[in-house]
Amino acid sequence: MKILGPLIRAKFVERPNRFITMVNIDGVIHRSHLPDPGRLKELLFSGANLLVRPAPKHSVRKTKYSTVMVNHDGQLISLVTALPNQFVKEALEKKELSIFKDYTLVRPEVTVEKHRFDFLLKSSNGSDFYLEVKSVTFVENGVAQFPDAVTERGRKHALALKKLVEEGKGAGILFVCQRPDASSFRPMWERDPKLANAVLDANKSGVKVWCITLNVSKTDMTFHKEIPVNLELPGKVF
C-alpha cells in the first residue's frame, strides 16, 4: 500500500493533548495533528525523529501538519490508526492475506445494532463473517501488545463479536502491528484488563483472533508476517 506524501522531517517537542504534537521543523515550532490517541510514551519523547505531512494548501484546519511516523531506533513506525484499515481493505480486495484466502470482501463499515464493525466478509460456504481491525504500535521485548491506552470501545466490540458468534455468525479480530519487529502478540493486561478479558472470552466463544506485522517505509506499507497470539493472562497458573 502506498503512503500519501510528501512527508517531511521534524523533531518531537511535546504533546499538549492526545491529538496534538508540537513539532520542530527547521527551528520553527508548529502544531501537528496526531492521529493516534494512545499513550505512545515509549515512542514520543523530546527530540524523537518524526515524519509529518503538510495539510493541504487551502485547508481550514487549525494544524498545519499531521504526524505520520516516528523513527524509533532506526525503524519507521506508523502513528496513523486509520492506515491498518486501509491496508486490510486493499489486501482483501487483492487477496493478498493468506489468513482470508477463503473469504471475500462484501463491504467495509457494517453496522449491527449499535455497533459498527470494520468489514463484512463472506466465507467460501456463503456465511457472513464480521471483522474488526485494531492498530498496534507498542512492542516490548519482541511482544506486540494492545491497547496502550484503555479502550471501552474495543471491549464492547469484542463482546459484540462474541454475541454474533453465539448467534451463528462468523467473527474475528485482526490486530495489525504497524512495525515489523514483533514476534508474538498478547493483550496488555496491565493497562486494560477489561479489554483483555473481553478478547479472551470472545476467543473462547469462537471469535477468531490474529495478529500480523507490517513493513513500514516512507512511501509504502507491506505485509511482513503473521505472528503467534497468546491471549491468556501472563503468569496464569492452570
Q: How far is CA 79 from CA 82, 93, 154, in A?
A: 9, 24, 18
H/E element, 103: strand 103-112
**Integer Cα distance of 205 and 9 in angstroms:** 46
Please tell me the predicted confidence (pLDDT) of residue 235: 73
Alpha-carbon Rg of the chain, whole angstroms?
18
Please give the pLDDT value at position 236: 58
DSSP assignment, residue 179? S
pLDDT of residue 238: 39
Amino acid (one-letter) located at 118: D
Nearest CA to 149 out of 188, 200, 181, 197 is that of 188
- Going along the chain from its start, the domains and CATH numbers come out as 8-76 (2.40.50.580), 83-227 (3.40.1350.60)
Strand 20-25 to 8-17 pairing: antiparallel
Residue 179, pLDDT score:
97
At 57 the pLDDT is 83
The answer to whether the CB of 175 falls within 8 A of the CB of 182 is no
- Residues of the chain scoring pLDDT < 50: 237-238
Cβ-contact 6, 218 below 8 angstroms: no
Show the beta-strand stretches assigned E in 137-220.
138-140, 143-146, 170-177, 184-187, 208-216
> According to the 3-state scheme, what is the secondary structure of 68-100?
EEEEECCEEEECCCCHHHHHHHHHHHHCCCHHH
**Contact in structure between 148 and 138 (CB atoms under 8 Å):** yes
pTM: 0.94
Task: Name the residue type at position 77.
Answer: I
Q: Sheet holding 143-146: strands in order across? A: 138-140, 143-146, 184-187
> What distance in Å separates the CA atoms of residue 110 and residue 118, rounded to the nearest whole number?
7
